[in-house]
Chain A
Amino acid sequence: MATSKLQALWNHPAGPKTIHFWAPTFKWGISIANIADFQKPPETLSYPQQIVITGTGLVWSRYSTVITPKNWNLFSVSLGMAVTGIYQLTRKIKHDYVYEANSIVAKE
């Protein structure tokens, strides 16, 4: 039973013998890189890059369900990417605008 399940997984049209498995798996590297960058100051964040990470994450969550073979690995990594992108954007926006508002209040 377990053996046949593993074999089914191994031979799946989107399984580890194919690029359909490895491309999304390495796409996690983008989310991991973003998570690693959580430690860096918000000044170093790039608005265009993070907006694109969020946008493509969301669009690709949809795309992964309409391609053949359907790719849930790609779905989950795209969603993860969107989440990390949104977090990074909130950090930067908070830093750029809330900080500014605070300094204005401090001056008053």
Chain B
Amino acid sequence: MATSRFQAFLNSPIGPKTTHFWGPIANWGFVAAGLVDMQKPPEMISGNMSSAMCVYSALFMRFAWMVQPRNYLLLACHASNETVQLYQLSRWARAQGYLSSKKEEEKPSQ
């Protein structure tokens, strides 16, 4: 049972013998890279790249759903990347002072 199931996976038209599998796997690298970069200070973040990534992953979630064969692995990957990149973007924005108006407003009330 387990053997035949594994073989079915190996020989699937969206299995590891095809780029329908490796394309998304490569894209998980974005998520991994984003997680690694979370350890770095906000000054190292590129606002250009994080913004582009957020738009990119949002659109590709839809793309993954619509492409034939449908690619659930890719959909999950881009949902994860969207989350990671939004967090990076918020760190960058905070470091640039775009979110400082809240803090300035908070100070007088304190």
**B-contacting 9-mer, from A4-12, A33-41, A97-105:** A33-41
Residues of B with C-beta under 8 A to A51:
29, 33
Q: Secondary structure of the B side of the interface?
A: helix
Q: Nearest-CB distance from B20 to chain A (Å)? A: 7
Whether B20 pairs with A56 at a CB distance below 8 angstroms is no
Does B52 count as interface, using CB distance less than 8 angstroms?
yes
- Which of B40, B56, B67, B68 is the one whose CB lies under 8 Å from A46? B40
Does A90 touch B at the CB level, under 8 Å?
no
Query: Does A32 count as interface, using CB distance less than 8 angstroms?
Result: yes
A21–B23 Cα distance when bound, in Å, is 18
Q: Are B26 and A60 in contact (CB-based, < 8 A)?
A: yes
For A32, give its contact among B19, B22, B27, B52 (CB under 8 Å): B52
Q: Is the CB of A48 within 8 A of B46?
A: no
How many chain B residues have a CB neighbour from A under 8 Å? 34
Chain A, interface size category, equals 20 to 34
Q: In the assembly, what is the distance between CA of A34 and CA of B18, in Å?
A: 29
Which residues of chain B come closer than 8 Å to A44, judged between CB atoms?
A: 43-44, 46
Is B29 a contact of A19 with CB atoms below 8 Å? no
Indicate if the CB atoms of A18 and B29 lie closer than 8 Å: no
Closest chain A CB from B93 CB (angstroms): 15
Chain B 40-61, CB-CB to A under 8 Å as 1, else 0, gives 1001101011011101100110
The interface of chain B, by Cβ under 8 A from chain A, is: 18-20, 22-23, 25-27, 29-30, 32-34, 36-37, 40, 43-44, 46, 48-49, 51-53, 55-56, 59-60, 62-63, 66-69
Given contacts A24-B63, A30-B49, A69-B68, 9 further A-B contacts (CB under 8 A): A19-B66, A30-B52, A32-B48, A33-B48, A33-B49, A33-B52, A34-B49, A48-B29, A56-B27
6 closest Cβ contacts across the A-B interface? A63-B23, A48-B33, A52-B29, A33-B48, A23-B63, A29-B52
